[in-house]
Amino acid sequence: MTQPVTTSSGAATGDGGGVWRRSWFQALIVLAVLVAGYWVSRTLGHPSWAGGFPTGLGDGFMSWLDGIYAWIVENRNDSPLFLYFFNYVSVGLGSAVVLINQALDALTWVGVTVLGVLAAWRAAGWRVALLVLVTFGVFALSGLWNASMTTLALIITSVFIALLFGLPLGVLAGRSERFYRWLRPVLDFMQIMPAFAYLLPFVLLFGIGNPAASVVTAVYALPPVVRITALALREVPEGSIEAATSLGSTPWQILTKVQLPLAKRTILLGVNQTIMLAVSMVVIASVIGAGGLGDAIFQALSKVNVGQAFQAGLAIVMLAIAMDRVTGAVGNGAHTPDVPERLRMPVLGGGLAVVVATVVFGRLFGLGGWPRNWAVDIAAPVNAVNDAIEGVIGGATSAVGTWMLTWVLSPLSEVLTGAPWWLVVLVAAALGWIFGGVRVAVISALSFVAVGLLGVWNNAMDTLSQVLVATVLTLVLGVVLGVLMSRNDVFATILRPILDAMQTLPPFVYLIPAVALFGIGRVPALAAAVIFALPPVIRLVNDGIRGVPAGTVEAAASQGSTPWQMLTKVELPLARGSLLLAVNQGIILILSMVVMGALVGAGSLGFDVVFGLAQNQLGLGLASGLAIVGLGLFLDRVTQGRRASHA
Amino acid sequence: MSTQRTEPEGNLSDVTFSVRNLWKIFGKNADKVVGTDLEKADSGAIKAQTGATVAVRDVSFDVRPGEIFVVMGLSGSGKSTLIRCLTRLIEPTSGQILLDGEDVEQASEQRLRELRRRKVAMVFQHFGLLPNRRIIDNVAYGLEIRGVPRAERYERAREMIGMVGLSGHENSRPGQLSGGMQQRVGLARALAVDPQVLLFDEPFSALDPLIRRDMQNEVVRLQKELDKTAVFITHDLQEALKLGDRIAIMRDGELVQVGTPEEVVGRPANAYVADFTSDVARTSVLTARWLMREAFPEEDTDGPSVEPGTVLSQVLPLLSASVAPVRVEENGELLGFVGRDDVLRAIAEDQLEDEGAFEAIVEDNAEDLPATAAEDGHGGTTPSGNGG
């Protein structure tokens, strides 16, 4: 609620006070102090008072968590809480996923395809129907039909749960200002939490497998539908509500006859976003034992089989795009076929009849899932192509990778882990103060101390170094591409649909090309993070520059600015708000991806999460998850503090 | 239901809405003003001391059955808040509102809904239509929420749509209609529940002048035809004079004057009202009843006769054709006379905004004027002789 305090540092005033009052300069000094501190510590041979965070407390915390985990495992079958609640939920969800999966099987592959295509046509027109047909084609031909159906069943289950809780919460938040004020920080927090950090608590409660996966997916996908439903209800014109009230509507009638119908389209956009988040999380949840396409990618990546990963990745990509187009079209109604009112029931009936007929036909011929031997295996050719490409540019990419590792990643990681921990905490606080004010400084310091207390200091610093490098890369690339996009309409027209598509993809699939190019290790994780975070950054830079008032640009041109002066003195400064937003969004995306990079050997916090899961070391896994949250909090607050006070 | 409270002023059966000492104060300390010393302070002082904003201040008035009661004031005068207090769309801070003798303030949520559903319907400045519903469903909304079966409510809605001249648009959506047509829908929606009272909140302010005139005529027609009582909010004096049986002028949350159009124009309560009405052409507001007087001795009394409600601009042609004053008659009964001098005086006052200027000019030129003219001028006196 409280606005970030505007401090007296005057860093953002920009005018007067010289270079000393500029925030970038102050930040540079702070970083120089950090490097100096590291150098001193190294020269002294890393004495205990000037080294990494003492691990004693963290170890205690972890073994305490391990104890809790052991207790839970022991008591899962007699504690009433588990016996009568979590286990029931778990069994229920497990059966829901299985049931839906069986239902999809019972429809047979022809039935599912016909149903999907007809539904897509009715909701979104024939183009999208065609896209859905192609998607089912990819499922079938890649031999991943069954995995796809499992993924679909998981998505349906978790979206159902998310909407079951999200819609009522959104309605409450839309109607009650107090409830919304209470809920909003929770949603904010949920949205900066990297997906990986969600996983462990749910494993604790539900064990490994589909139930935990569907709950974690539902929770992860919850915020947009709540937020957008609340927003949509608030946007219903006051006049319509007042008029309905003046005619004597009850609060329930106002909700059902005025607010919900008028907010419907916007709410559907929220549902669309929730579905897309569910698609991305369901893939990540393969780490905690969710089956389906995510598992296929997970398995392929762990064997570094690019071809197999590509196959499954393609299926996921098609699924994501098709889901987005169908649900998005329901939301904005743009391409919905215009069926006259009196024909609607007949059309629906006809469609159902066709589906039923197809299913009966399918059952008669004993069809089920798509037969495996009809699949076209593209894994081998993709691997061949990949090998060929690697043969040509492999030398170059591995050189780039090695250079990156030796000259950038490792030194930075070394400085962060080797400098006295208290100095790092102070530096974090100082940066928070420079960029966000006193409140942010306190939050930053506390986040870092918490990370230390959790006992994962070194890994956290390593993760941080990856995030920082990826952020710098992303910003440089993003600003260059964004500026180009704002300058060149043809380029913008080409780039925009690509960015759209990239933003609908689950982050998991970005690991595949990264592995293909850089093998495994920290560098591919970095590359995946950069690719993943680039689209929103490019878009925001472009929007910011294009949003500069034409009159201002004209005035600057009339005074004889060169294009470079125009960019650096007029456009970029005026687009400041968008640029800061780009930094903020980019850095949060990068963190979540870098952590996921553990799956391709990036180590650090993400690895601890996976390792903790795999080895039943829940203490380590949970502590790492919490440390990820701490880093996220720091990065988010530092990059958004000023923005709020300037808006 | 009817709590028979006896009201000191007037007979309850003659009053539809009876409003007494109504206050509406917005802000945190709203309840710390009324009944304290602050009550008398001006709005600025109250705002400074408590942070609360006074929107309606100690307002009392009665609305009689079948009349159009116009509340007129500039924006920010509190008139929209006032009309919303009548059915508690905005909760009043204090005061009493009786609707047919029933205390609206004391009504339960359910009773209040019942009043809104059956007795009082409102028409809004920005229409307040539901854009996702067809016109017929908009008009039928009030019936739908009180559970009238579909066939019945559609029949009623069609009838209302016909009444406001929109037949054929039943299946359109509000967005497809012009502003004037949308307001007709708003009107039909209010009429569909067959309310006893219609509340209009600046219903025509958002419309073009020509359409506004049509709609005003429509309201007059429907109100007479259906015998509804109406409270009408406007910031447009012409509209107020055209529609109002009585007009209440509001300023800074207070009622400055309540009276017939003639009273407001002809005998403004203070400089504010006078200034407000100064641009009005009196000949089109003042009536024969307002100007009529006893016959002078030896005056010719067989001039043409007019109804007492005839406005001056229609008396003028008769007077130009006849030297004798017109006879003001109602049902054959002689009420009084209006002569050329009386009309001339009214016109002269119209030209010179305040009476002082008129007197000054008359006095300055007294010696140049023929004696009789000066005498007649005094004989007419200031227009206080409201013969009725």
**In a shared domain, residues A488 and A617:** yes
Q: Which residues of chain B have pLDDT under 50?
A: 1-12, 371-388
- pLDDT at res. B62: 92
- pLDDT at res. B376: 44
Residue B294 to residues A206, B115, B338, B380: CA-CA distances in angstroms?
A: 100, 49, 9, 10
B124 contacts in chain A (CB < 8 Å): 239, 242-243, 246
- Helix ranges (DSSP H) in B122-178: 135-139, 141-145, 150-163
Q: Which of A394-398, A482-486, A588-592 is the least confident region?
A: A394-398
- pLDDT at res. B155: 93
Mind telling me how many Å the CA of A338 is from chain B's nearest CA?
A: 16
- In chain B, helix, strand, coil percent, each to 5? 40, 20, 40
Range of the domain at A336: 107-141+321-366
Question: What share of chain A has pLDDT > 70, as a percent?
Answer: 87
* Residue A371 pLDDT greater than 70, yes or no: no
A248 and B114 within 8 Å at the Cβ level: the answer is yes
Please state the rounded mean pLDDT for residues A410-432: 80
A246 and B131 within 8 Å at the Cβ level: the answer is no
Confidence of residue A1 (pLDDT cuts 50, 70, 90): very low
**In a shared domain, residues A156 and A123:** no
Select the CATH number that applies to the domain covering B12-277 from these four: 3.10.129.10, 3.60.150.10, 3.40.50.300, 3.40.50.170.
3.40.50.300
Name the strand (E) or helix (H) holding B70.
strand B68-72
Contact A247, B144 (CB under 8 A): no
**In a shared domain, residues A269 and A361:** no
Instruction: Tell me which chain B residue has its CA closest to the CA of residue A260.
Output: B132
B142 contacts in chain A (CB < 8 Å): 247-248
A239 and B131 within 8 Å at the Cβ level: the answer is no
* Residue A43 pLDDT greater than 80, yes or no: no
- Asked whether residue A10 is assigned to any structural domain, the reply reads no
The mean predicted confidence, pLDDT, of chain A is 79
For residue A141, with 0-12 CB atoms within 10 Å meaning exposed, 13-18 middle and 19 or more buried, which class applies?
middle
Question: Which pLDDT tens digit goes with each residue over A334-348?
Answer: 666 676 677 777 777
Exposure string for B174-184, b = 16+ CB within 10 A, e = fewer: beebebbbbbb
Say which of A242, A248, A264 has its CB closest to residue B124.
A242
* Residue A375 pLDDT greater than 70, yes or no: no
Residue A276 to residues A164, A326, A503, A508: CA-CA distances in angstroms?
A: 17, 11, 10, 13
- pLDDT at res. B200: 92
Cα–Cα dist A435/A640, whole Å = 8
B128 and A240 within 8 Å at the Cβ level: the answer is yes
Question: Which pLDDT tens digit goes with each residue over A187-222?
Answer: 887 877 777 777 777 777 777 777 788 888 888 888
A242 contacts in chain B (CB < 8 Å): 89, 124, 128
For residue B362, what are the contacts with CB-CB under 8 A and spacing of at least 6? Answer: B369, B374, B377
* Residue A643 pLDDT greater than 50, yes or no: no
Instruction: Tell me which chain A residue has its CA closest to the CA of residue B126.
Output: A239
- Asked whether residue A482 is assigned to any structural domain, the reply reads yes
* Residue A408 pLDDT greater than 80, yes or no: no
**In a shared domain, residues A214 and A126:** no
Cα–Cα dist A316/A284, whole Å = 12
**In a shared domain, residues A350 and A401:** no
**In a shared domain, residues A466 and A335:** no
**In a shared domain, residues A266 and A357:** no
Q: Which of A85-94, A159-168, A179-188, A549-558 is the least confident region?
A: A85-94
Question: Which pLDDT tens digit goes with each residue over A573-593?
Answer: 888 888 888 888 888 888 888
Residues in chain A: 647
Q: Domain ranges in chain B?
A: 12-277, 284-380
B122 contacts in chain A (CB < 8 Å): 243, 246-247
CATH class, range B284-380 = alpha beta
**In a shared domain, residues A188 and A330:** no
- Asked whether residue A314 is assigned to any structural domain, the reply reads no
Say which of B113, B132, B199 has its CB closest to residue A248.
B113
- pLDDT at res. A16: 46
Which of A275, A302, A329 is at the close of a domain? Answer: A302
Interface residues of chain B, partner chain A, Cβ below 8 Å: 87, 89, 112-118, 120-122, 124, 126-133, 141-142, 144-146, 186, 189, 193, 199
* Residue A484 pLDDT greater than 70, yes or no: yes
- Asked whether residue A561 is assigned to any structural domain, the reply reads yes
- pLDDT at res. B185: 92
* Residue A528 pLDDT greater than 50, yes or no: yes
B132 and A245 within 8 Å at the Cβ level: the answer is no
- pLDDT at res. A304: 73
Interface size, chain A vs chain B, as Cβ–Cβ contacts under 8 Å: 70
Question: Which pLDDT tens digit goes with each residue over A109-127?
Answer: 777 788 888 888 877 778 8
Structure tokens at B161: 């749509």
- Asked whether residue A11 is assigned to any structural domain, the reply reads no
Cα–Cα dist A297/A284, whole Å = 10
Cα–Cα dist B259/B244, whole Å = 10
A240 and B131 within 8 Å at the Cβ level: the answer is yes
- pLDDT at res. A557: 80
Confidence of residue A14 (pLDDT cuts 50, 70, 90): very low
Please state the rounded mean pLDDT for residues A236-247: 89
- pLDDT at res. B384: 41
**In a shared domain, residues A399 and A532:** yes
Say which of A242, A247, A253 has its CB closest to residue B193.
A247
- pLDDT at res. B157: 93
A246 and B129 within 8 Å at the Cβ level: the answer is no
Question: Which pLDDT tens digit goes with each residue over A46-94?
Answer: 666 666 666 666 677 777 777 777 777 777 667 666 666 777 777 777 7
For residue A31, what are the contacts with CB-CB under 8 A and spacing of at least 6? Answer: A427
In this structure, which amino acid lies at residue A49? W
A248 and B117 within 8 Å at the Cβ level: the answer is yes
A262 contacts in chain B (CB < 8 Å): 130-132
Say which of A250, A257, A262 has its CB closest to residue B113.
A250
- pLDDT at res. A83: 64
Which residues are bridge partners to B182 per DSSP? none
Mind telling me how many Å the CA of B131 is from chain A's nearest CA?
A: 8
Say which of B116, B145, B193 has its CB closest to residue A257.
B145
- pLDDT at res. A49: 64
- Asked whether residue A154 is assigned to any structural domain, the reply reads yes
Task: Write down the residue that tokens 């920009």 correspond to.
Answer: A14
A245 and B193 within 8 Å at the Cβ level: the answer is no
Tally the domains of chain A: 3
Please state the rounded mean pLDDT for residues A18-36: 76
- Asked whether residue A412 is assigned to any structural domain, the reply reads yes
**In a shared domain, residues A330 and A263:** no
- pLDDT at res. A386: 72
**In a shared domain, residues A267 and A351:** no
**In a shared domain, residues A269 and A411:** no
